[in-house]
Amino acid sequence: MAGILIHQEKAREPEKLQELCPFDAIEFTNGILSINSGCRMCRICIKKGPEGVFEFVEDKEPQSVNKDEWQGITVFVEHNLGKVHPVTFELIGKAFELAGKTNQKVYCLLAGHKTENLVEELLEYGPDEIYIYDFPELKHFRIEPYTAVFEDFIKKVKPSTILVGGTAAGRSLAPRTAARFRTGLTADCTMLDIRPNTDLDQIRPAYGGNIMAHINTPKHRPQFATVRYKIFSAPEKNASGKNTKTVNCKMDPAKLVSAIKVLELNQKSQEIGIEDAEVIVVAGRGLKKAEDLALINELAELLDAKIAATRSLIEAGWVDPKRQIGLSGRTVKPKLIITCGVSGAIQFVAGMNNSELIIAINTDENASIFKVAHIGIVGDLYQVVPSLIDKIKEFKKVKP
């Protein structure tokens, strides 16, 4: 990787040299100057430091990988309590779409213990091949053995692209595995496409959602991408699994050893989060005070909906952070979402623009939210929402 090289023999007054870096990335320990992980590659030390002490060194241009040796789209199968996480099925659907454009196979990588039921679930979606690592050491998710499994699979199969759910486990596992192969990883992709030469086009919001970054990894394989739950749609179950090949993989048990010991599992109480809600009512900055959430609550109760909010209300402490929609919150895809006083910043829209029906209420007719809304109501939420509540109550009274 590129970095800053320090020529120690030219360094004079090292304590003063430390002060050059605004990020405290220059350290002086045991008589040696070094650059720590705080370095932002801003090169201020080179520009303002004594001539010849600091030098920016770039890696040599990597050789192009033989892409013919790397084929197939792999989906890492995440599961918990004996059930496959639904993000896995969404990724399988996207994998089939990408594979269809490049004539590649779709693989599933399944690691765990007593995985028979999980295999049955996967067979209903008809991947070309399922690679199964079934060992007692994989009963619980622990990063070292799961990374070892991932590494073993990649060395055996050499897939071109690997898709991982943007969950707590996926965000831990994918970067660790990618680092072992010195390849790229794009996190929280919102769009994926593929070129005829199998280069993956990975698109995600960047700089707080102000731009959409288009990321490509043309000289390395495999290509890793993580995707949040509810970004893509799960395909219909359309296969019996008769044409799916299952491969039971063997591994050296020594590679499955972990320094982590699971002493006890405490299951959280199950509740439907906003990610799984079919109807959501969102409160935005247009709400004047916390007490006015009662208005939003009343509308939500009538619709049997979940309450959600934008970042500004979360930061104000008005709403539980678990109910935030957007890049720094949750991604949702309900059948109906009603936004009340939401302007429609890119960060927010990225977390809800795949909803089936979007109704937006805002006083500003030029608000960005109207660009994604299916139905836009230009008006004051303090007038529109009460009227909407009255209409729903009236409808419920006359409904047979």
User: Is residue 151 domain-shared with residue 35, that is, in the same domain?
Assistant: no
How many structural domains is the chain composed of? 3
User: Is residue 388 domain-shared with residue 329, that is, in the same domain?
Assistant: yes
User: Residues 78-101: pLDDT tens digits?
Assistant: 998 889 999 999 999 999 999 999
User: Is residue 76 domain-shared with residue 17, that is, in the same domain?
Assistant: no
CATH label of the domain that carries residue 14: 3.30.70.20
User: Is residue 89 domain-shared with residue 237, that is, in the same domain?
Assistant: yes
User: Is residue 236 domain-shared with residue 335, that is, in the same domain?
Assistant: no
CATH label of the domain that carries residue 237: 3.40.50.620
Phi first, then psi, for residue 350 (nearest 5°) are -60, -20
pLDDT at 54: 94
Cβ–Cβ under 8 Å, residues 67 and 198: yes
* DSSP structural state of residue 239: -
Q: Would 159 be classed as within a structural domain?
A: yes
The secondary structure of 308-334, three-state, reads EECHHHHHCCCCCHHHEECCCCECCCC
- Structural domain of residue 74, as residue ranges? 67-256
Among 144-148, 200-204, 266-270, whose mean pLDDT is lowest? 266-270
CA atoms of 177 and 152, how far apart (whole Å): 10
Q: Would 50 be classed as within a structural domain?
A: yes
Phi first, then psi, for residue 170 (nearest 5°) are -65, -40
Q: Give, in order, the Cα–Cα distances in Å from 85 to each of 121, 142, 145, 176.
A: 11, 17, 20, 21
- Please say which residue of 57, 85, 102 terminates a domain: 57
Dihedral over alpha carbons 118, 121, 127, 132 (to 10 degrees): 10
Write down the number of H helices and E strands in the chain.
10, 21
Average of pLDDT values for 161-170? 96
Q: Would 265 be classed as within a structural domain?
A: no
User: Is residue 230 domain-shared with residue 324, that is, in the same domain?
Assistant: no
* % of the chain with per-residue pLDDT over 70: 96
User: Is residue 11 domain-shared with residue 97, that is, in the same domain?
Assistant: no
Q: Would 163 be classed as within a structural domain?
A: yes
Q: Would 210 be classed as within a structural domain?
A: yes
CA atoms of 184 and 178, how far apart (whole Å): 7
CATH label of the domain that carries residue 317: 3.40.50.1220
User: Is residue 236 domain-shared with residue 346, that is, in the same domain?
Assistant: no
Question: Token pair 């090289």 is at which residue?
Answer: 5
Q: Where are the alpha helices (DSSP H) in 223-303?
A: 293-302
pTM above 0.85, yes or no: no
Residue 399 reports pLDDT greater than 60? no
The b/e string for 110-134 (b: 16+ C-beta within 10 A; e otherwise) is: bbbeebeebbebbbebbbbbbbbbb
Q: Would 261 be classed as within a structural domain?
A: no
User: Is residue 120 domain-shared with residue 243, that is, in the same domain?
Assistant: yes
Helix (H) or strand (E) holding 180: helix 168-180
CA atoms of 93 and 75, how far apart (whole Å): 10
User: Is residue 85 domain-shared with residue 216, that is, in the same domain?
Assistant: yes
Q: Would 9 be classed as within a structural domain?
A: yes
User: Is residue 19 domain-shared with residue 89, that is, in the same domain?
Assistant: no
User: Residues 143-165: pLDDT tens digits?
Assistant: 999 999 999 999 999 999 999 99
Mean pLDDT over each residue of the chain, to the nearest integer = 92
Q: Would 106 be classed as within a structural domain?
A: yes
User: Is residue 381 domain-shared with residue 250, that is, in the same domain?
Assistant: no
pLDDT at 240: 66
Q: Give, in order, the Cα–Cα distances in Å from 126 to each of 1, 74, 234, 384.
A: 40, 13, 13, 48
Q: Give, in order, the Cα–Cα distances in Å from 395 to each of 297, 302, 303, 388, 390.
A: 19, 11, 12, 11, 9
